[in-house]
A and B are shown apart, each in its own frame.
Chain A
Amino acid sequence: MSDLRGMFVDTSICTGCKACQVACKEWNDLPMENEAAVRDHTAFTGNSYDNTVHLSATNWRHVKFIEQIGPDPSTADRSDPRWLMMSDSCKHCVQAGCLEVCPTGALYRTQFGSVDIHQDVCIGCRYCVGACPFGVIAFNQRTGRVNKCILCQDRLEIGMGTACAKACPTSSLTFGTVGELQAMANERVKLLHSRGQTDAYIYGWDLGNSGKITAGPNKGTAVKDVEVVGGLNVFYLLLDKPEVYGLPAHAALPQRNFVPSAGVALISAAVLGVTGLAAFRRNRMAENAIAEGGD
């Protein structure tokens, strides 16, 4: 565990400044998603302060904005206003769907436990795109290969941390060893609970915390730590249900379907074989019947 590197994303102190998004683009030299749209004034979404919409081959980080000014968006009630923000990226799952299905070995597990891509191996089959439960890895039309956050593999290799975590002004993103980060996260959750902010829980690992949402449309709903696909090396402290942040409540490996699916396939094949044989058999018997009748 002490070998694993990851990040702890404490959404309770994320100011949504997007420094992480830019720092990521700066270090990884990523272009803008769609310059034409910006120049033609079609890029403005009106979705709070989010204009990059989701992760992509050129946005390896994406900050989400969820406005919860009052319990019900459709009424004037503005009690307990919240503006939830969360910086999203590849979670570097302990069991990574993309990695599992990659047919070329382009996706691989690094010495830091993260998932990196050999750009010179990827054939652009896009299977990993369909396999990722979080919609992280994406096809890059420019290169015909897939891209995603690689946990700044090249920085880690020269002993640095991730560019995004370094840039984060409030340490909402913290880079470190997963073990230390879990301890830190657990401490943080306990502190928030002790101050009455019982919404706080961990998404990615089950550290045994549970509480109740204190504001917004889901006020009163119980929440508890969830371990996702064997654990996430990049994990989150959330203040509302995962779905609110666009995270699946029950993410799973695509492989869960492999054996059953293949099994059912075999059975159906067998049935088809049998019916085929039966068909011939039936016809031949019919023929014979006719033949006998003919005598």
Chain B
Amino acid sequence: MPTKYVLPPEWEWPITIALFIAGIAAGAYAAMGLIHFAGDKRDQAVAHRLGFVPLPLMLVVPLLLIVDLGQPGRFLNLLVKSPAAVERGGPLMFNSNSPMNWGSWAMVIFGAFAAIAFADALHHSGRVRFTWLEPLSHNIVVLAIGELLALVVSGYSGVLLNVTNQGVWSDTWLMGALFICFSELSGLAVALIVSDRMGTVRTSAALRTALFYAATVSAVVLLLFLASMAAQQDGSLTALIASLHELVGPVFWIGAVGLGLLVPLLYLAPRRLVPVPNASLSLIGILVLVGVLAFRYAVFFSAISFVQS
């Protein structure tokens, strides 16, 4: 007997894409930060090039979300309190109980950090010169805060799904973790592609290991996710499997699991576990990105609603 009698929120393509892109942006920023922290002089070039990535993506994301609302004028209500909402105090809108508010604010602020990174990238590309920028853009604290915001941006939507009453979404605590993992995957994938294109073999080597580790962690989290579903006495796992129907099924297993996790695990392992045909790192990076997109899709379209009929 179903235990949930809820309506589906009908979140579909625009949101899937938006969060995919936001994930890449946040992931790329994280990768950039990683190189700054862990890398040395010779890795910097890649970090600087990666700086170009977050800002443009973060400009696209809100556009997609606003389009999805169908009433562009109103998105501001997420940040600036509408005068009609007389019950709430203060000029700004922030409901600490709502992951969506966390997310919207995080995105806005993160945008600023993305901008700094972008400027820094410009600076290092030699096209424009912002000498005054160095101390700020390479400042550990600034990067750390940026990393933190990137974390919220990539993770909030997962937490948001946890904080509903939908089947699957709300049956686990691991959605946020999963989202962070997959956005990290996409970020590292981008970094790997960039690095590969730049021919910085040394950085690429480090990045492929990082991507391999990230894939490993993600795989573990995904297994925990499935386990936590199975742990639900109301048969959420069955429900999940059931929900993985038609398109969603293949997309999840082949796309998210196959491309997103198995590919990096097989190709990027320090020691090849099984023999596979050679492939360029860029190609692998692209495959991973596709896998991440597949993951987003699978998650959003698997929202199950038990409406008794």
Contacts and interface: CB of A to CB of B under 8 A. Distances in A.
Touching in the complex, A and B, CB below 8 A?
Answer: yes
Interface of A: 45, 47, 53-54, 97, 100-106, 108-109, 118, 120-127, 129-139, 144, 243, 246-252, 254-255, 257-258, 260-269, 271-273, 275-284, 287
A251 B4 CA distance: 8
Interface in B163-200: 163-166, 169-170, 173-177, 179-181, 184, 188
Nearest to B3: A248
A257 B170 contact: yes
B8 A130 contact: yes
A265 B87 contact: no
B307 A104 contact: no
Contacts of B2: 243
Interface string B4-29: 11111111000000000000000000
Contacts, number: 235
Contact of A248 (B4, B213, B309): B4
A284 B206 contact: yes
B163 A265 contact: no
A101 B9 contact: no
A280 B38 contact: yes
Given A268-B217, A272-B184, A284-B206, A134 B70 contact: no
Given A123-B75, A280-B210, A130 B180 contact: no
Interface string B57-78: 0000000000001110011011
Interface string B116-141: 00000000000000000000000000
Contact of B69 (A125, A276, A283): A125
Nearest to B40: A284
Given A269-B155, A269-B180, A280-B206, A133 B95 contact: no
Given A54-B307, A105-B93, A135-B307, A123 B74 contact: yes
Interface of B: 1-11, 30-31, 34-35, 37-40, 43, 69-71, 74-75, 77-78, 81-82, 84-85, 87-88, 93, 95, 97-101, 104, 151, 155, 158-160, 162-166, 169-170, 173-177, 179-181, 184, 188, 202, 205-207, 209-210, 212-214, 216-217, 221, 303, 305, 307-309
B214 A276 contact: yes
Q: Which 4 residue pairs spanning A and B have beta carbons closest together?
A: A265-B176, A105-B85, A279-B210, A275-B213
A104 B210 contact: no
12 contacts: A45-B309, A105-B82, A106-B82, A108-B88, A121-B82, A130-B9, A132-B165, A248-B4, A268-B217, A271-B217, A272-B214, A279-B213
Contacts of B188: 276
A120 to B, nearest CB: 5
B175 to A, nearest CB: 6
A118 B180 contact: no
Nearest to B224: A264
Given A126-B9, A135-B5, A254-B170, A278 B159 contact: no
A83 B197 CA distance: 71
A287 B202 contact: yes
Given A102-B95, A129-B7, A269-B155, 12 more contacts: A97-B165, A101-B164, A121-B77, A123-B74, A126-B11, A130-B6, A132-B165, A135-B305, A260-B162, A261-B175, A269-B184, A276-B188
Contacts of B10: 126, 129, 139
Contact of A123 (B78, B165, B175): B78
A131 B85 CA distance: 20
Interface centre among B7, B100, B180, B303 (most CB of A within 10 A): B7
B206 A101 contact: no
A130 B98 contact: no
B173 A257 contact: yes
A102 B93 CA distance: 11
B5 A261 contact: no
Given A127-B98, A129-B9, A106 B163 contact: no
B3 A250 contact: yes
B205 A283 contact: yes
B6 A135 contact: yes
B209 A282 contact: yes
Interface centre among B1, B43, B74, B207 (most CB of A within 10 A): B74
B6 A243 contact: no
Contact of A276 (B34, B40, B75, B170): B34
Contacts of A255: 97, 163
